[in-house]
Chains A and B, each alone.
Chain A
Amino acid sequence: MKKIIYTLLLAAGVIFTFGACSKADNNAPGLGTGTGGSLARFTIYGNYLYVVDGTTLKTFNISNPKNTVQVSSIEVGFGIETIYPYNGNLFIGSAMAMYIYSLGNPEQPRSEGMASHVRACDPVVAKDSLAYVTVRSTNNGSSCGGSVDALIVYNIADLRNPTTIRTIPMQNPHGLGITENTLYVCDGQAGLKIFNVNSIANLALIKTIGGYNFYDVIPYNDVLICMVEGGMVIYDIADQQNPVFVAKTF
Chain B
Amino acid sequence: MKKNYFLVAAALAMAFASCNQANLKRDEVWVPIYKDKAEAKVILNLPAQQVRSGGKIYAYNNYVFQLEQNQGIHVYKLENKKPVPVKFIQVYGAQEIAIKDNLIYTNNFKDIVVLNITNPQEVAVESRIPDAFSLNTSELPPAKGYFQCVDSTKGMLIGWEKQDNIEATCIY
Report which A residues bind B (CB closer than 8 A).
Answer: 24, 27-37, 39-44, 49, 51, 53-54, 58, 60, 62, 65-68, 70, 143, 216, 218, 220, 222-223, 225-232, 234, 236, 246-247, 249-250
Contact = CB atoms under 8 A, between A and B. Distances in A.
Interface in B86-116: 95-103, 105-107, 112, 114, 116
Contacts of A51: 96, 112, 132-133
A42 B98 contact: yes
Contacts of B78: 223, 234
A249 B54 CA distance: 10
Interface residues of B, number: 50
Interface in B24-79: 50-51, 54-64, 66, 74, 76, 78
A62 B105 contact: yes
B4 interface: no
B81 interface: yes
Contacts, number: 161
Contacts of A30: 61, 102
Given A65-B114, A231-B51, A28 B58 contact: no
Contacts of A232: 51, 54, 57, 64, 66, 76, 83
Nearest to A217: B57
A222 B56 contact: no
Interface of B: 50-51, 54-64, 66, 74, 76, 78, 81-83, 85, 95-103, 105-107, 112, 114, 116-121, 126-127, 129, 132-136, 138
Given A34-B58, A41-B95, A249-B76, A28 B64 contact: no
Contact of A54 (B56, B57, B98, B136): B136
B51 A28 contact: no
Given A33-B100, A37-B56, A227-B56, 12 more contacts: A27-B121, A32-B100, A44-B100, A44-B105, A53-B135, A60-B132, A66-B126, A68-B105, A225-B64, A229-B54, A234-B82, A249-B85
